[in-house]
Amino acid sequence: MASIIDEKRLVRFILRETTEDEDKDIIGWASQAETNREELRLFYETYKLSTHDQLSTKINVDQEWDEFYSRRLTQSKAPKSIFFQASKKWINIAASVLILISIGFAGLQTYRLSHIEKSGHQLLTVRVPSGEKSNLVLPDGSVVWLNSESILSYNVDNPRKVNLSGEGYFDITKDPKHPFVVETLSGMNIRVLGTQFNVRNYENEPFEATLDEGKIELFGKRLSQDQAIKPGEQAILENGTLKIREVDPAMYSVWRNNELKFEDITFAELVPRIERWYGVKVELDPALANRDYFTMTIKTESIRELFKMMQLTSNFKYEINGSHVQLKPN
């Protein structure tokens, strides 16, 4: 494969006219180095800027979305791109038809089983199944990593306001005129300008926001007034009470690097994380729920290796039948 992809082929790639083998060549070339990805992004942006008036008069959004979705998603090929400011009509077309180009190369392997769907004409939703992870680049250039069983949705007319269910790590592009907002199931919302933070908000679990860099503000119906969070702080909403504590932020976002760390947590707290990490269903005996506490790091260990590590400090037994796991006292 040539080190530089022919520009004519890149144009055909953007226009979705390339063959499957040509797609593999381009994706492989772009995956080799960040400089190649940057070249593709700049080429794509330049091409769009020079042709958007012509394209916007010829593209049928719904029809093109269906064709693009079917071809790109099933092949799991999705280069990323930096979105740009243009006419509102072209923004809608680009967001609808070319949204898959916003998925980062770094997430191709974990994104493979993720799902992007279009609801109506404007709402876009990314779903990550159990046992998988994903990352994507939003139209404003902000990067989002999504953990297992997470859902992210946003309106293409306002990509700086997203709704999150599950867990996500956000690296937000700064735009003072347009604050970025994350809405969650708990009713707790986050307002930012440009910063890096982790949000955890699975159903029936406490809301948790951990700040790496910059500044975030919590707001919503659960708070009487906005609450600012500083780097190195974590906000937890549990049983209707918001608590702020100092933490090591890196510990709460290592899942992006295929690591899972936990500190002094019970079986009851650990089970949901095991289910999402390994894509299994765990049946926990109530007698174990709050009996012991665990602190460890999981990287490439199998679920059996995990349980053997836990058995070094806890007296329990386990049974694994396919994707079903039982944990019982000895």
pLDDT tens digit sequence for 282-307: 999 999 999 899 888 888 788 998 99
Cα–Cα distance, 265 to 268 (Å, whole number): 8
E-assigned strands of the chain?
A: 115-119, 123-127, 134-137, 143-146, 151-155, 158-171, 180-184, 189-192, 196-201, 207-213, 216-219, 227-229, 233-238, 241-246, 260-266, 281-284, 293-298, 316-321, 324-329
Q: Pick the residue with more confidence: 55 or 186?
A: 186
Position 44 confidence tier, pLDDT thresholds 50, 70, 90: low
Position 254 confidence tier, pLDDT thresholds 50, 70, 90: confident
Number of residues that this document lists for the chain? 330
Report the pLDDT value the prediction gives residue 281, as an integer from 0 to 100: 92
Position 80 confidence tier, pLDDT thresholds 50, 70, 90: very low
Q: Which two tokens stand for residue 21?
A: 């083998």
Asked whether the beta carbons of 296 and 303 are under 8 A apart, the reply is: no
Report the pLDDT value the prediction gives residue 163, as an integer from 0 to 100: 94
Report the pLDDT value the prediction gives residue 10, as an integer from 0 to 100: 77
Q: Is residue 61 over pLDDT 70? A: no
Q: Which two tokens stand for residue 4?
A: 């530089």
Mean per-residue pLDDT, 226-243:
90
> Per CATH, which fold does 259-329 belong to?
Phage tail protein beta-alpha-beta fold (3.55.50)
Contacts 24+ apart (CB under 8 A), 234-242: 234/208, 234/209, 234/210, 235/207, 235/208, 235/209, 235/210, 236/206, 236/207, 236/208, 237/186, 237/188, 237/206, 237/207, 237/208, 238/206, 238/207, 242/218
CATH of 103-253, one of 1.20.1070.10, 2.40.40.20, 2.60.120.1440, 2.60.40.10: 2.60.120.1440
Task: State the chain's mean pLDDT as an integer.
Answer: 75
Q: Which two tokens stand for residue 268?
A: 């009851």
Range with top average pLDDT, 218-222, 267-271, 309-313 = 267-271
Residues contacting 51, CB < 8 A, separation 6+: none
Domain boundaries, the chain: 1-101, 103-253, 259-329
